[in-house]
């Protein structure tokens, strides 16, 4: 399973980066191959200063070895080895009318000292973070995610949509990071779903990403914007940074397993503002966004 999923994310990375280069029209992804001293490594691809994408990364990694003590405590195990692989992407467009997007699809195995698999699971999801909210964009993103889920189980979309709303929540701000999408984790073999079934589901979701995001980019890429709107984008990007550094499990896992720091932090936007006690004008588009982010909404 780990070999099959790793081969899948290699191909997925190629298809996503090729399409994003085509959409941008100017910028190309810079590739870095890196190795982790304790075992494994990855292939980082970063795009910067394009016509559309100010900064973005589409990264894959496959790491293995002894599970660090901090992670042993987290999982409640002792003297375990692990394997983890996944694809993680974040795209920060320059135009504040185009939303930021994040996605991740991953697979994890844990072993005893004899090398036997004692646990294995899939996880992942995709979510949208607009700065100026076009309701039809959020509906499109969620509709494509729902179609992928419905091909496997009609309960998946409402369940993983709710998990996404709960996960991407800045508790210290009491607001959502964005308009959500899907989030699933610890997807293990049960009576209803084998690991092959979970593989098929995760692949379905991964293959839906470009259809969920690229039409939104194409629709909003040429909209005009002001300096004030750009400032708002950078203020909201600050909330994105806060979530990733305070709450995000993937970031914390990478830091605790001695991952490559440049790859872990590629998710951070290049230009950010933290204005003291900032509040948007009453009745503005910016205020409407905050109102919606204060309570998760059903988009489809």
- Calpha distance 51→41 (Å, rounded): 31
Q: How many domains does the chain have?
A: 1
Q: What is the CATH number of the domain that holds 196?
A: 3.40.1500.10
Which one is catalytic: 92, 102, 140, 142?
102
Residue 181's pLDDT is: 98
Report the alpha-carbon distance of residue 99 to residue 71 in Å, rounded: 33
Q: How far is CA 72 from CA 92, 114, 234, 251, in A?
A: 34, 17, 37, 17
The pLDDT value recorded for residue 255 is: 84
Catalytic-residue membership of 278: no
Q: Is 148 inside any structural domain?
A: no
Cα three-residue angle 209-213-216, rounded to 5 degrees:
160
Chain segment 151-178, per-residue pLDDT in tens: 999 999 999 999 999 999 999 999 999 9
Closest-CA residue to 125 (of 175, 184, 73, 69): 184
d(CA 263, CA 270): 14
Strand residue runs (E) in the chain: 30-35, 40-48, 53-66, 81-93, 100-111, 117-129, 169-170, 175-176, 180-187
Predicted local confidence at residue 177, as pLDDT: 96
Overall average pLDDT of the 239-256 stretch: 88
pLDDT band at 79; cut points 50, 70, 90: confident
Average pLDDT over all residues of the chain? 95
The per-residue pLDDT for range 117-128, each reduced to its tens digit, is 999 999 999 999
pLDDT(72) > 80: no
pLDDT score, position 74: 75
- Whether 145 is in a domain gets the answer no
Domain that residue 46 falls in: 2-131+183-285
Does residue 152 form part of some domain?
Answer: no
- Is 228 part of any domain? yes
- The answer to whether position 175 is within a domain reads no
Asked, for residue 99, whether it belongs to a domain, the answer is yes
Q: How confident is the model at residue 249 (pLDDT cuts 50, 70, 90)?
A: confident
Q: What is the SS3 assignment for 177?
A: coil
Residue 27 has pLDDT above 80, yes or no: yes
Q: Give residue-wise pLDDT tens across range 274-300.
A: 999 999 999 999 999 999 999 999 999
Residue 293 within any structural domain of the chain = no
CA 123 to chain centre: 11
How far apart are alpha carbons 96 and 221 in whole angstroms? 9
Residue 77 placed within a domain: yes
């Amino acid at each position: 399973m780990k070999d099959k999923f790793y081969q899948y994310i290699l191909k997925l990375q190629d298809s996503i980066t090729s399409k994003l280069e085509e959409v941008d029209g100017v910028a190309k992804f810079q590739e870095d191959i890196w190795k982790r001293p304790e075992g494994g490594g990855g292939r980082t691809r970063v795009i910067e200063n394009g016509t559309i994408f100010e900064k973005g990364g589409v990264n894959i990694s496959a790491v293995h070895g002894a599970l660090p003590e901090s992670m042993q405590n987290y999982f409640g195990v002792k003297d375990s080895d692990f394997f983890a692989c996944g694809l993680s992407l974040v795209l920060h467009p320059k135009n504040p009318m185009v939303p930021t997007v994040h996605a991740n699809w991953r697979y994890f195995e844990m072993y005893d000292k004899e090398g036997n698999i004692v646990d294995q699971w899939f996880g992942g999801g995709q979510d949208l973070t607009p700065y100026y909210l076009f309701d039809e964009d959020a509906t499109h993103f969620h509709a494509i995610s729902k179609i992928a889920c419905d091909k496997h189980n009609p309960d998946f979309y409402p369940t993983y949509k709710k998990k996404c709303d709960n996960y991407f929540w800045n508790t210290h701000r009491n607001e959502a990071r964005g308009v959500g999408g899907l989030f699933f984790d610890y997807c293990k073999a049960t009576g209803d779903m084998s690991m092959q079934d979970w593989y098929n589901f995760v692949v379905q979701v991964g293959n839906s990403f470009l259809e969920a995001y690229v039409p939104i980019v194409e629709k909003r890429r040429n909209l005009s914007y002001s300096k004030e709107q750009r400032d708002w984008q950078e203020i909201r990007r600050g909330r994105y940074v806060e979530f990733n550094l305070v709450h995000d499990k993937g970031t914390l896992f990478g830091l605790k397993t001695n991952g490559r720091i440049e790859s872990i932090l590629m998710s951070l936007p290049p230009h950010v503002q933290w204005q003291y006690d900032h509040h948007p004008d009453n009745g503005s588009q910016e205020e409407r966004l905050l109102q919606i982010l204060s309570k998760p909404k059903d988009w489809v």
